[in-house]
Structure 1
Amino acid sequence: MTDDKVKRRLTTVLCADVYGYSRLMEADETGTLETLRRYRTAIARLVERHDGRIVNTWGDAVIAEFASVVEAVQCAVEIQQEISQQDSDVPQANPMRFRIGINLGDVMVDGSDIYGDGVNIASRLQELAEPGGVVISSSVYDQVHNKLSVGFDCLGQRPMKNIAPLTSYRLTLGGRTAGQGSFPIEESPTPRETARAPRIGDRHEPSSWTQVVLDWLAKLPRPVAAALTVSAFLILINVFTSHKIWFHWPVAAILFGVILRTALRDRPESDRKGER
């Protein structure tokens, strides 16, 4: 590739690699190769669906490029979902998991191949991903963080082989990382559960604390509940009508009378007969 033929372009590179491929091949060469072929077919279909193209499939890795950053990230999510779904349909003793890295960067173009730091960074990012996970560069994050319904965990600046440290992000969905198995679909409450659920700040329904107070008063003896209610009204009247505090005297008298009445009522029957 001579200098006068070097072309460059800005593109989104997706690098997918099988986690523990050597271990899987050692355990079952035939089965591993068959699974890899099946997954590559699924990946190629999803890449094409999102207007990307497969650049290379050397070894157990897959490199693809996309004109759209959003499409690349959506494709990565669907790849992990598809692989997880196929694993659940055909359970395996040693399931195959891909790690995916995505980078937006400048690449050198030679025919159908691409080279340069744009590709190398994507490759290093996939090494940071958990099995079944997706890690993106900060350049990708800047373009998609407010355009996709997925979460992002900042991994900070992680050291990468032969690459200057850069900030990376791990994709999450439903509060869980992709590496925990798959991107789960968030469960929505049923209409009945939604109707039962308290709605904080809903002014059309009694607030929860009011209901709690009413329930508490209902459990008290009637004289005690009445005294507390009257005391509360006196306090409110004092607070909203006068700067001078006067409620403590009538409230104290009311509470003292209720306490005295309750104490006399609860005395043993023998004590009350002795007083007669």
Structure 2
Amino acid sequence: MTERITRKLTTILAADAEQFSTAMTADEVGTFTELQAARDVFFKLISRHGGRVANTAGDGLIADFPSVVEAVQCAIEVQQELAAKDTALSFRIGVHLGDVICDGEDLIGEGVNLAARLQTMAEPGGVLISQQVYDHVKNKLTIGFEYLGDRRPRNMPEDIPVYRIALGAPRRSKTAQVWQDPDPFSDAPTRVFDGAPPQAGPSSGRRARALFARNCDGRQRPLSFGRAGATLALIAAGLFIVDISTGRGFWSHWVLLVVAAQYGLRNADLLFGRSEILSLPVKLWVIAAFLLCINLFSWSGYAWSMWPIGALVIASLARRISSQPE
């Protein structure tokens, strides 16, 4: 009697270390230690986002998630934490939503293969996602997406739309820089999300990454504090001039505080380059700073802001604890 095949629809995250064999040749013990440290980061964040590690063959890793959003958020946080730790190894990550065959604890099938192919096409330290994943997360995550065009993954029968998540410049493995891999999308057309036509050419992708990450609704997302600081400085100067000219008491700092808080909440993840600081969401820090500034600007001898800030911190920690898989 033929055994029944078990299938499921899931989000697959495939990761692999860049030039691992070369790194092992250069420093076997050091590279293995770095691999173990990187795996600890993967395991921690996969568990935090409700995922499960299905396979860890060699220097690669396959995980699956019931939530597409959590899978993408996990991939982003992994790359951000590895970059923050400045690890010697860098990883490529591909994420795809597809049908897979369950082989015990392992997963096999076209869905896994496509996630793995996306991984091989990603830059070191980067994340590529399929159209299916993009359709689920485009309105749920405040991050930049870059459409790289229809590409044909190796050993696949047809082209697929590929999207890159804006995470900054590629980060190559320190112990494996014997040669430089070419950018697999250096000649890909870059599509922006404001209706502008695609621009072809080797510099278009680099130019788009260097200037702005564009969200799916066409809004420009700055990648550093420099442009944001300059904009806020101009607003502050204009408000200060109006404030002084009217001579009706000093009020411009309130307007500037609201503008800065709004900007910080909308762009927190990109401005800080991560979604958490000291295990607390970046947006919570923005809200805490906003409340503290209100307290200071209206100071009457009592630090009342500590109560709402403390409540927010406790609520955030409680939510994290309750969401941990058992």
Q: Measured at CA, do residues 125 and 191 of structure 1 come closer, stay the same or move farther in structure 2, by a change above 3 Å?
A: closer
**Counterparts of 1:23 and 1:197, CA distance in 2:** 54
Kindly, what percent of the aligned residue pairs are identical? 46
In the alignment, the residues of structure 2 paired with residue 112 and residue 128 of structure 1 have an alpha-carbon distance, to the nearest angstrom, of 26
Instruction: Map 1:182-261 to 2 at 5 A.
Output: 186-187=224-225, 188-189=228-229, 193=233, 195-196=235-236
Give 1:30 deviation, angstroms: 0.3
Q: 1:198 to 1:144 in 2, by over 3 A?
A: farther
- The residue that corresponds to 1:52 in the other structure is 51
Which residue number corresponds to residue 281 of structure 2? none
SS in 2 for 1:12: strand
Gapped runs of 5+ residues in structure 1?
Answer: 207-276
Partner secondary structure for residue 5 of structure 1: coil
- Aligned-pair RMSD on alpha carbons? 2.9
Question: In proportion to residue count, which structure has more strand?
Answer: 1
Distance 1:162 1:150 in 2: 30
Aligned residue-pair number? 192
1:27 and 2:21 equivalent? no
Which protein is bigger by CA-based radius of gyration?
Answer: 1
TM-score, length-scaled by structure 1:
0.63
SS in 2 for 1:146: coil
TM-score (normalizing by structure 2): 0.54
C-alpha distance after superposition, 1:12-44 (max 9, x if no partner): 000000011111111100000000001101110
Q: How do residues 1-276 of structure 1 correspond to structure 2 at under 5 angstroms?
A: 4-87=3-86, 95-163=88-156, 164-173=158-167, 176=168, 179=170, 186-187=224-225, 188-189=228-229, 193=233, 195-196=235-236
Q: Which runs of 5+ in 2 are unaligned?
A: 173-212, 214-221, 246-326
Instruction: Write out per-residue CA displacement over residues 162-196 of structure 1, whole angstroms, 9 at most, x where no aligned residue.
Output: 213211100015xx45x268x99743539972643
Q: Which runs of 4+ in 1 moved over 4 A?
A: 183-186
Q: Hey, what's the Cα distance between the residues in 2 that align with 1:26 and 1:3?
A: 46
Residue 152 to residue 3, structure 1, CA distance change in 2 (3 Å): farther
Distance in 1 (CA, whole Å) between partners of 2:82 and 2:68 is: 22
Aligned counterparts of 1:98 and 1:14: Cα–Cα separation in 2: 12
1:82 partner amino acid: E
User: How far, CA to CA, are the matches of 2:163 and 2:112 in structure 1?
Assistant: 17
Q: Which amino acid aligns with 1:149?
A: T
1:160 alignment partner, SS class: coil
